[in-house]
Amino acid sequence: MIDSTQPGGTPGTPSRRRERFPGISTRAWEHPADRSALVALRKLSGFDDILKKLAGLVSERSMRLMFLATAVKTSERQYPEIFNMVRDAAYVLDLEQVPDLYVTQDPTVNAMCIGMDTPVIVLTTGLVELLDEEELRAVIGHEVGHAMSGHAVYRTMLLILTNLAARVGWIPLGNLAIMALVTALKEWFRKAELSCDRAGLLAGQDPQASMRGLMKLAGGHNLGEMNVDAFLEQAEEYEKAGDLRDGVLKLLQVLPQTHPFAVVRVARLKQWSESEEYRSIMAGAYPRRADDPDASVADQWRAAADSYGKSIKESKDPFFSLLRDIADGAGSVGGKLRDTFTGAKTPGGTPQDEPRE
């Protein structure tokens, strides 16, 4: 455990002790769909260098100078509590190089991690003013998670492809192909956001604060008028969705988004905070980054497929229920066709396609 009041702890005023995770791999918190893509891309030698060259005019040096000129760089003398929070998150998640953190004047509630060589975290004043200390700690941990997973590199790919789609729209089927990739990347990034919500929880280790912060993103600062349990009930209501039309509408609404909706994030984070995976990490049993080169791409893809399959299987959404029923029906029909043509029989000796009393 760490405590800012003890030797070896990060300076600051955290309200309680938290576990530290030496050598933790980002695979510990990455959503299976996010992790499978990242593991595959990390094994492509030179991939990051190609992206940086494709980025061309995207200059980290220019970006850093702009923030240095127009925002407040946190330090022991400027936003010292926030400065200590990013150091604390890096210490808990065992990130050696602490990212610079800037606070920029903007009423929009937002936080971001940008840059490919040396990521930078940016918080808006709208966000800083909205959240309390522990909620802000979770958000900063979320952004540190982005930095450690290398999401900024792959977000650059999304920007490149989006710009490319705008330029090749006149080419027959060209725009369609690019937009298919963009849609797939957006699905990836929605899962990356769920990944980093988990990283934020590991950094702050206060599930209520993490969920409270996400709820505030949806409903503002008046916490006395909101309730996390009621917000989770709202998430349950959204999941059930009414009828098939609502299920289709939800799918159409989420496809253009780069972030999952707030109620979905809260529900998924609560589910993970109560999982055996989270308990194991807190107990010190987690993947180590020393083993990352040995991570199997095939295993990660299987985990991603299992995750999607489980989501559909457990979903209460009418649209996914229909897909599940169709799949089950197709499987049943396929089994009957197979038995008909192969002459397979039931355990009792009755042909599978014959009526049974």
Asked whether residue 51 is assigned to any structural domain, the reply reads yes
* Length of the chain in terms of residues written: 357
Predicted model pTM: 0.75
Place of tokens 């998430």: 235
3-class state of residue 131 by DSSP: coil
Asked whether residue 341 is assigned to any structural domain, the reply reads no
Round to whole Å and give the CA distance between 278 and 282.
6
Asked whether residue 287 is assigned to any structural domain, the reply reads yes
Q: How far is CA 238 from the centre of its chain?
A: 20
- 143 catalytic? Reply is yes
Integer-rounded Cα radius of gyration of the chain: 23
Asked whether residue 128 is assigned to any structural domain, the reply reads yes
Q: Which domain holds residue 146?
A: 26-153+190-336
Asked whether residue 116 is assigned to any structural domain, the reply reads yes
The type of residue at 137 is R
Among candidate residues 143, 233, 314, 357, the one labeled active-site is 143
- What's the total number of domains in the chain? 1
Asked whether residue 18 is assigned to any structural domain, the reply reads no
**Contact criterion met (CB below 8 Å) for 121 and 111:** yes
**Contact criterion met (CB below 8 Å) for 267 and 232:** yes
For residue 247 the two structure tokens come to 């299920």
Asked whether residue 5 is assigned to any structural domain, the reply reads no
Asked whether residue 176 is assigned to any structural domain, the reply reads no
Round to whole Å and give the CA distance between 263 and 272.
14
Output the tens digit of pLDDT for each of the chain's 357 residues. Answer: 655 433 344 444 445 789 999 999 999 998 887 776 666 665 655 656 666 565 544 556 777 889 999 999 999 999 999 999 999 999 999 999 999 999 999 999 999 998 777 889 999 999 999 999 999 999 999 999 999 988 876 666 666 666 666 665 555 555 666 667 677 777 778 888 999 999 999 999 999 999 999 999 999 999 999 999 999 999 999 888 777 777 788 878 888 887 899 999 999 999 999 999 999 999 999 999 999 887 665 665 565 555 545 555 665 655 556 555 555 554 454 554 455 555 555 444 444 444 444
